[in-house]
Amino acid sequence: MPTTATTGRPGAGELGRREREVLHAVGCGLRDDEIAAALATSEDAVAAHLARILGKLGLRDRAAAIVHAFDCGLVAPGRGPRAQPVRPAPRSAANGTAGPAATAGFTATSGPAVRIAVLGPLRAWRDGRSLDLGYPRRQAVLAALALRGGRALSRQELLDGVWGLEPPVANVVPVHIYRLRKILRIGDSPDSVIEHDRGGYRLVSGAAEVDLTRMEDLVTAAGTAHRAGDQAEAVRLCSQALDLFRGELLAGLPGPLAELERLRLAERRIAVAQRKLEWQLRLGRHAEAVDELFALSAEHPLNELVAAMLMRALYSGDRRADALAVFDRARRRLADDLGVPPGRMLRQTYRMVLRGDDAGPDLTGVAR
């Protein structure tokens, strides 16, 4: 009995059973000869069915039909005829939960074969090979999905985040998603790390490793080590987290979402660095902390907490004059750039150094 394809497009017609079968096979990435073999018909019949499908649904070409098959729910990632059997993912020794290669049609057994990096210029790799992600807008769409983890983003959210107040004339989001699905395939199958459901588009859980997720896991582990009294392990884990940052965040990506995420990720990096450096000071590793604090202060000259920590590290290393010079430089920069005097914390640190006190203001807990 004929059924109606839900397309959301004006003038969408009814599709018969065989037409739906052909559309499903096209959406799964099969060629005409493969569809003909699967349906026990001729290639000419398949081509005729596809022509009728395009006409009824008002689609331009085969690529548009593939996008439509995903968007209307006729094809779901991991359920196509070429999907490979999924081996059980290894359990984590730490918590007994499924590891990063788990579920959702992902076929790798030693971790996701697709890696996505957002803590710098956007990059992606499959099986260790760098991928060409195409146009900056397409890259921005992928970055939006990677930054949101498993949460689905609707077409409108992607339009708002990537195009902002200059939306495209055509509905190009499905086109970019289609191209990204092809680029980010899982293994040799047509299945992709990007899926579509009623909520919108999302990354398939466990199918891709995102450096942002890895960074936050390391920071969480560092906090656990700190609470357990292992400051050295906390510093080591924070160092690993900071090593994931590389270069300008989301360099060259357009749109308001990328701009907001640059600011958020930059602040997150500072917070993690501050936690690590505070723990280094507690361990008495002042010389090591001084070098990193000088670099951080040069990047963020108006950050008073960084200046205060640098002053403490220098003072603890018997470099009192250098610590006072840091205060004087910060005071002038705040006055020249912002027209404000140093805040209470920085003034307290200055008085501590000036008086030669052993204890200064508590900076712990400020950078969380």
Q: Which helix (H) or strand (E) holds 36?
A: helix 32-39
Residue at token pair 């004059």: 321
CA proximity to 88, closest of 80, 98, 76, 79: 98
Q: What pLDDT does residue 12 have? A: 37
Query: From first to last of its 368 residues, what are the pLDDT tens digits of the chain?
Result: 333 333 344 333 478 888 888 888 887 777 887 788 778 788 888 888 888 888 888 887 787 777 777 667 676 544 444 333 333 333 333 333 333 333 232 233 345 689 999 999 999 999 889 999 999 999 999 999 999 978 899 999 999 999 998 888 888 999 999 999 999 987 766 778 999 888 899 999 888 999 999 999 999 999 999 999 999 999 999 999 999 999 899 999 999 999 999 999 999 998 999 899 889 988 988 888 899 899 889 988 999 989 998 999 999 888 999 999 999 999 999 999 999 999 999 999 999 999 987 655 555 444 44
Structure tokens at 111: 């971790």
Residue at token pair 């000419």: 44
Q: Which residues contact 359 (CB under 8 A, 6 or more apart)?
A: 352
CA proximity to 62, closest of 41, 103, 31: 31
CB atoms near residue 245 (< 10 Å):
18
User: Which letter, b or e, does each residue of 162-173 get, where b requires 16 or more Cβ atoms within 10 Å of its Cβ?
Assistant: bbeeeeeeeebb
Structure tokens at 283: 């361990």
Which ranges of 89-154 does DSSP label H, i.e. alpha helix? 136-147
Q: What pLDDT does residue 338 have? A: 93
Handedness of CA 238, 243, 247, 248 (dihedral sign): negative
Residue at token pair 């090591």: 288
Q: What pLDDT does residue 362 have? A: 52
Residue at token pair 């971790």: 111
CB 75 within 8 A of CB 105: no
Provide the whole-model pTM: 0.65
